[in-house]
Amino acid sequence: MPVPTNDTWQDLAPQPKDAELPRTKVFAVKAETTVQDGEVWLHLQGQLPTPCHRLRVEVTREEDTLLVHVYAVLPDPNAMCIQTLKPFNVQLRLDVPPMDYTVKVQTP
């Protein structure tokens, strides 16, 4: 698994308590990779179901293909939360060799 290496990844990686929470679909996910200074970056844009949801990202590599699993979790299902979409726009530095990748996004 190519592990993203910047601080943002710590916020987006699946957490131990996530196993107890249902995965929720995120909307209109756009994903692309770029190479900057010999490093591969994954750029993700989309929308969370509500501002209370937390974005989760898992990335695996199969040769020249990056499989990106993008989903949301709701840490407190009893919390009062406004019912509106919340945009997200994140960049993750990946620990993979620089090359052209096909990016496949999967959501639950």
Q: What is the pLDDT of residues 16-59, one digit of tens each?
A: 999 999 999 999 889 988 999 998 899 999 999 999 999 999 99
User: pTM for the full model?
Assistant: 0.84
Residue type, 32: E
Phi/psi for 25 (5° steps) reads -70, 140
Residue 103 near residue 66, CB atoms below 8 Å: yes
